């Protein structure tokens, strides 16, 4: 299958690489020449614009950071919408249902079917091909691209409605964000009270409080002070705010997630939105006067 792939960031580069290694002809584009060069060296074909990608492939996938960028790449000047060959636009990004529906209608006018297929599982999952792929759109069109999506990760068909996959992704991501934020508060309190954070995590992971935050993020990334989970606090704040917007549109309240959004905003304001999501613990540490880190071994 000829597949276009636009957006070769932390997630996209790994997903595009897996498609190349699976034997697909992959036509790539990114604003960073270095990212293009790395994949071209593995056999991908470089393009000079989203339109050029869409001229060369019936299926074009994108993995991009924000809804506005997805909209521009899909429907802007020199965008995918101007391509001569494209028939399927597969959005692996997190844009929210409202934007997905907007892009669907704009592309539909040009006989291009938009399929929203956001992924979750982090950089490690993208690298290993274990991310969850949450696809929605017309059933026959989704089935046409399903084999390629199964190369990327574990495939789930969410439904016919444009944007359904996006809603599913937001529901997942707010749980991840809430677990990370709550774990940060719990760990800071325990350390302030004199507990060993490594022992805390061992107990929590043998108990009912465990989550991906306690099982992987905190032991591997926070206690070691690496803060390199691979997903920025700014992007998580974007996803959480998209969830809040959709909840509000449905007439729902979301007090817990609003509190999570507030902590993410505080972290963005104090440390910057480009910092790793795990740095959400740092504003709490500063206020408590402690650090959640591995304790130095005692001298013998």
Q: Which one of 25, 72, 169, 248 is the catalytic residue? A: 169
Whether 169 sits among the annotated catalytic residues: the reply is yes
- Tell me whether strands 59-62 and 119-120 are parallel, antiparallel or unpaired: unpaired
| Long-range contacts from 292-299, C-beta under 8 angstroms, 24+ separation | 292/184, 292/187, 292/188, 292/191, 292/197, 292/218, 292/222, 292/223, 293/197, 293/222, 293/223, 293/224, 293/225, 294/197, 294/198, 294/223, 294/224, 295/196, 295/197, 295/198
* Residue 238 near residue 96 (C-beta atoms within 8 A): no
CA distance readout (Å), 198 to 100, 186, 217, 293: 42, 13, 12, 8
C-alpha to C-alpha distance for 184 and 290, rounded to whole angstroms: 12
Q: Which of 11, 217, 260, 213 is nearest to 120 (CA)?
A: 11
C-alpha to C-alpha distance for 37 and 24, rounded to whole angstroms: 18
- Tell me whether strands 119-120 and 131-136 are parallel, antiparallel or unpaired: antiparallel
- Residues designated catalytic: 169
């Amino acid at each position: 299958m000829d597949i276009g792939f636009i957006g070769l960031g932390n997630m996209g580069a790994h997903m595009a690489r897996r498609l190349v290694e699976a034997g697909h002809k992959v036509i790539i584009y990114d604003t960073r020449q270095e990212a293009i060069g790395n994949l071209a060296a593995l056999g991908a074909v470089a393009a000079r614009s989203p339109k050029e990608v869409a001229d060369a492939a019936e299926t074009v996938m994108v993995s991009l950071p924000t809804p506005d960028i997805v909209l521009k790449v899909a429907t802007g000047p020199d965008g995918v919408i101007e391509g001569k060959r494209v028939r399927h636009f597969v959005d692996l990004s997190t844009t929210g249902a409202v934007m997905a529906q907007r892009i669907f209608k704009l592309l539909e006018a040009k006989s291009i079917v938009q399929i929203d297929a956001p992924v979750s599982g982090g950089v490690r999952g993208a690298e290993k091909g274990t991310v969850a792929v949450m696809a929605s759109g017309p059933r026959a069109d989704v089935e046409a691209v399903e084999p390629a999506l199964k190369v990327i990760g574990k495939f789930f068909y969410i439904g016919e409605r444009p944007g359904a996959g996006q809603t599913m992704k937001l529901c997942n991501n707010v749980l991840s964000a809430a677990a990370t934020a709550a774990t940060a508060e719990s760990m800071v309190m325990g350390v302030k009270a004199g507990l060993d954070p490594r022992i805390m995590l061992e107990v929590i992971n043998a108990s009912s409080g465990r989550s991906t935050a306690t099982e992987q993020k905190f032991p591997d990334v926070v206690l070691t002070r690496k803060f390199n989970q691979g997903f920025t606090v700014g992007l998580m704040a974007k996803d959480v705010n998209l969830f809040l917007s959709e909840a509000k549109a449905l007439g729902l309240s979301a007090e817990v997630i609003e509190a999570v959004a507030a902590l993410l905003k505080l972290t963005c304001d104090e440390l910057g939105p480009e910092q790793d999501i795990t740095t959400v613990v740092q504003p709490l540490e500063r206020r408590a006067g402690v650090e959640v880190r591995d304790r130095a071994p005692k001298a013998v």
